[in-house]
Amino acid sequence: MVFKAFSIGAGITLILAVGGCQPGQNPNSVSGTIETDEARVASRYGGRVEKTLAQEGDALIGRQEIVELEAAELTARRDRAAAQLAEAEAGPRPEEIAATKADWEALGAQADFANADARRAEELFAQKTLSATERDQTVMRSAALAKGVVAAKSRYDLLVAGTRPERITQARAQLAELDAQLREMKISAPTNCVLEVLSVKVGDVLAPNQPVATLLLTNHLWVRVFVPEPWLGRIKLGDAVTARVDSFPGKDFSGAVEQIQRSAEFTPRNVQTVGERVKQVFGVKVRLDNAEGQLRAGMAADVVFPNVRP
């Protein structure tokens, strides 16, 4: 299963009056919009949708299944690969080994008899009672049987040794590949999230890597605000901050500085005076603690930097 993460949001609103603040606004706070990461999940292999196991708006936990694809042919191939692996690991049957050993012993007995014939043929040839042709035929038959014994012994040794380790490794790799494909037939949530959009229905045929659902990763809520250049000397990565939202007036939500942009935004073309320099702003990404689940993407939030003294 593959997924791509990216940020969403209705947009970022900068409510910052350079050289002053709005009435009632904390002088060391700036405002932005809460955002969250989004993931689009899909199958790397595609297939026909067999089941949908969640609905839009459902809160999902990690590894919870969302969609199941049909995979009858993959199951059959997996069963065949598993049987081939079991056969390779078991090695030859005892009956096969016994039969090969019997063939080897039978050829050995024939070779011994042929060897005795060859010795008698040599004696008779020396006594000039046997022709050279008959002697050669007897000797050649003995040599051929001796080679047959060696070959039969090699076949027996191979069976006793069992399947080559390389073949077993190959069979295991093939089975693991099919198992991976079968896992891709069950598309699940990568972590705790909310099912925002379900893009398929039962019966749809999906191409590989075609997204089936859009998920909001609510365990990572953040807000990007823009601060004036003079504040940068007092803001560091990891600094603790607080945030407030209109839905819960008077309640502070904790957060931490997660990123500070390296370059300014909304910078005038010609920065020549001190008054113009303070108009430069830098993006700061603040991660928010949403353990209680009260914050949502799209809320406007006022972020207070306690280390800043305007």
Binned at pLDDT 50, 70 and 90, residue 264 comes out as confident
Query: Where are the alpha helices (H) located in the chain, listed in sequence order?
Result: 72-90, 94-126, 132-161, 165-184, 274-277
Give SS3 for 300. strand
Question: Contact, 16 vs 298, CB < 8 A?
Answer: no
Mean pLDDT of 248-275: 75
Q: Residue 11: what pLDDT?
A: 35
Residues 237 and 300 in one domain: yes
- d(CA 233, CA 229) in angstroms, rounded, equals 8
Binned at pLDDT 50, 70 and 90, residue 303 comes out as very high
Residues 144 and 62 in one domain: no
Residues 7 and 55 in one domain: yes
Q: What range defines the domain where residue 34 resides?
A: 2-70+188-304
b/e burial code for range 281-291 (CB count within 10 A of at least 16 → b) = bbbbbbbbebe
First to last CA, the chain: 49
Q: What percent of the chain has pLDDT over 70?
A: 87
Handedness of CA 110, 114, 115, 117 (dihedral sign): positive
Binned at pLDDT 50, 70 and 90, residue 281 comes out as confident
Residues 65 and 193 in one domain: yes
From the number of C-beta atoms within 10 Å of its C-beta (0-12, 13-18, 19+), residue 207 rates as: exposed
Please state, rounded to an integer, the average pLDDT across all residues of the chain. Answer: 85
Q: Residue 310: what pLDDT?
A: 61
Binned at pLDDT 50, 70 and 90, residue 127 comes out as confident
Place of tokens 């050279």: 132
Q: Residue 18: what pLDDT?
A: 36
Binned at pLDDT 50, 70 and 90, residue 278 comes out as low
Q: How far is CA 308 from the centre of its chain?
A: 44
Binned at pLDDT 50, 70 and 90, residue 13 comes out as very low
Position 77 in a domain = no
Residue 237: what residue type? L
pLDDT digits (tens, 9 = 90+) for 34-63: 999 899 999 999 899 999 999 999 999 999
- d(CA 256, CA 222) in angstroms, rounded, equals 9
- Give me Rg for the CA atoms of the chain: 40
Mean pLDDT of 58-74: 93
Residue 6: what residue type? F
Residues 212 and 300 in one domain: yes
- d(CA 253, CA 301) in angstroms, rounded, equals 10
Q: Residue 266: what pLDDT?
A: 63
- Claim: this prediction has a pTM higher than 0.75: no
CATH of the domain at 287: 2.40.30.170
Give the other-Cβ count within 10 Å of 243's Cβ.
25
Residues 66 and 198 in one domain: yes
